[in-house]
Each structure stands twice: as C-alpha cells, then as structure tokens.
Amino acid sequence: MELRPFGTTDLKVSAVGIGCNNFGIRLDSAATRRVVHAALDAGITLFDTADIYGRRGGSETMLGEVLGVRRKDIVLVTKFGLPMDDGGRCQGGSRRYIIEALDASLRRLKTEWIDVYYFHRPDPATPIEETLRALDELVRAGKVRHIGCSNFSAAEIEAAQSVARASGLTPFTAAQEEYNLLSREIERDVLPAIVQEKLALLPYFPLASGLLTGKYRFGAPPPSGTRLSDARYSDRVLNDDNLRVVARLTDFCAARGRTLLQLAFGWLLAKPAVASVIAGASTPEQVRANVAASEWLLSPEEAAEIDRVTAR
C-alpha cells in the first residue's frame, strides 16, 4: 500500500482509507471486526469515522472495541458538529459542545487522542474564531493532533484560515469534500482554496454512492439490496445523464483492460491535493478490491480524455 503525505503535517496515510459509516448500521460487531482486520492486513492506515455514524455513536464504539492495541498503528479520523440529540443541544461548533463532543468520542473510541478531528459542517450560529479557539485548546492539551473541515465552501475555508493566522491558532490542515468522476463541483472554487491553503484533501463518495462500481446499467433498475436501491441515495445520483457518462467511462476502461472501480480510484489519486481516498466496505472482499483498484496510475493523456468524457 502506497503511503502519501497528509498535507503539511508529519503524518503519512495509506492511499486508500476505510470509511466507517457502515459500522453500527449495516454491519454488526462481528462484520465490523472482519472489515477492520482486512483493512489492517491490506496496509490501510487511515480510518475515517464520525460521532454521528452508526446511529449516533455506534461506529466509534465498534471501532474502539475492534482496534484494541492496533490503535497505535493507524491514523484515526473522527468528526463533530452534526446533531447528536433530538433537542438541538448536542451539535454545532461552540466551545462548550466541542469539549463535550471530543471527550465522548475519546471514550467510545477507547483512545487518548484523535489524529485528525474534523468540523463536520459549518455552524452559522457560532463564530469560527470560537470554534478554532476550542480546537486549539484540544491540540495544546494533546487530545487532538490536527484539525480539519468538511463540507466548507471556499470562502469558509479562507475565512477560517485567516482567523487562525491572525490569532495564532491551530489552522485546518485537511478538508473532506464530495468529489468523484460524476461530482466535480469543488473544482470551481473549493479545490483551488484547498490547494492554496496546502490542505490535504480526502474525497468522500469516491464511487458516487456505488454508481461507479459498474453494478448499474442504463435502462435497468438498481440491483436489490444495493445502496442505490434506496431513494435517499438514488435521488442524488441515479439519473440518465450520469448513467450515460458511466457507460462512456466503462467503454474507456474496457479498451484498456481496466475496471470502472480502478478508474474511480486512480483518477482521484492522480490529483495532487488528494492524500487518501476514503471508501466504505461491508466485506473483506470489498476492502481488498478497493486496495487493488488504487494501482492504476493514469497517464496525462488518459486524464485529459477522462476530463472530456465527464465534462458537463
């Protein structure tokens, strides 16, 4: 497994990371253990979870139980900010809540520190300086090594980094954004801001909720039991335009003896800002397939052709 720099930090992370959002929902404890052990055996070092995953805490709890002494061998990423209760108290970026949320995550994960702690979504009700000051306290206390942002606009990234610089606070070192062959909106404003600030980019939904796995065909219903058989996901990406692009990409891969999965990973890993591609898995076989898919190094000509195929 290739190890890649994580932005400007001293961390090195595996080119493929494991997304832990299935733990505690689609996967029980035994299935989670099989996936985690398969990831470790394959050389994956980056594990990405969040307090909200697994019906509010389930993913962190399962991951903490399974990792055990292997905790020291990985880069552990988790997030805060999305609602953890129904009353609206446990959410957002206030200092009060961040301290509370971090301690709860540490307990669930059975660890004393988080390698990268992400602000899951901007909180318009809290000044970014308050959020950054709270996160800076956690870094200085040794509970968090690095901080990042997720789902931030370019303006929000730039504003946060400016506040951190002006106030001598710990800046963001990483960003998570939706980015894949079918969702390239961040290239307009967000990606240039990430590059300008030298942040590590961790794309999520690299397979467009499964549309880039090759399981879906134009004119055919989604296979039963797949993610895109659920309207929550299919309504976002399953449409004729995307299916036509997928068909062209499939032909592109077939002409080169490659798979659509290899293209989805290889295309992202060719982007200079990308530190690791986060992909979920529900079986050890999926883990191994994701790792193997990262081995296609696209030529400049192939990358240019893909840009033409996916242009909207």
| Catalytic machinery residues | 53
Cβ-count burial of 220 within 10 angstroms (0-12 exposed, 13-18 middle, 19+ buried)?
A: exposed
Taking the alpha carbons at both ends of the chain, their separation in whole angstroms is 34
Instruction: Single out the residue of 9, 149, 136, 172 nearest to residue 75, CA to CA.
Output: 9
Query: Is the C-alpha dihedral spanning 228, 232, 234, 236 positive or negative?
Result: negative
Cα 169 from Cα 193, distance rounded (Å): 19
Cα 249 from Cα 258, distance rounded (Å): 10
Cα 100 from Cα 119, distance rounded (Å): 14
Question: Quick one: tokens of 100?
Answer: 């509370």
Q: Identity (one letter) of the amino acid at 304? A: A
Cα 111 from Cα 49, distance rounded (Å): 14
In order of 64, 74, 164, 293, the CA distances from 70 in angstroms are: 10, 7, 33, 25
